[in-house]
Homo-oligomer: A and B are copies of this chain.
């Protein structure tokens, strides 16, 4: 593997910094310093800090999605419960991955929380996952009163998966001894069971295959 270009080094550093800090707190200076580059290099290669963030989001998404696809390796014909479990496990696993595969969810956490409607492009990726994957899945499991109720159930699932990204202050509470290995597996297990049990509070869908 050839030595990384300055542009790549800056993108890596940007993902790392934007995963840690809110947009206005992160500085190009810090990013370029980590990348070992001159502070003008960020703008030279990406045009602006804003554009750099967008690139960082896109790149981080590719890494996260290939390492932890939302299907979780579970077949589309599997039971909806199993697919939901895999979906949640993928998002949670991403969130606690200390390496580049963890950047996307954490960057999005910061972006989500300071969003004021713009940055639609960045959201399209999660909106897609939400509307194309999660909501239909929920419909398979539950007979919702209306669209609003389904959307609310959807945000409940998402909240259970990503709260620590969006409220980073609670990360330490979750894993006093660090989120490696077994504790994380326990956590994923508990969260998905919690979510599935929570969903059982809604009336189950009349399954077409029931005789």
Contacts and interface: CB of A to CB of B under 8 A. Distances in A.
B198 A194 contact: yes
Interface string A166-179: 11111001111100
B115 A113 contact: no
Interface string A182-209: 0100110011011111111110000000
Given A24-B25, A25-B24, A155 B164 contact: yes
B159 A22 contact: no
Contact of A160 (B113, B156, B175, B193): B156
Q: Which of A156, A164, A194 has the most CB of B within 10 A?
A: A194
A94 interface: no
Given A25-B24, A113-B166, A115-B168, A193 B186 contact: no
A29 to B, nearest CB: 16
Nearest to A197: B201
A115 B193 CA distance: 29
Interface stretch (A53-61, A67-75, A96-104, A146-154): A146-154
Nearest to A163: B159
A197 B194 CA distance: 8
Contacts of A46: none
A168 to B, nearest CB: 7
Contacts of A166: 113, 163, 166-167
A10 B180 CA distance: 46
A155 B193 CA distance: 15
Contacts of A170: 112, 155, 158
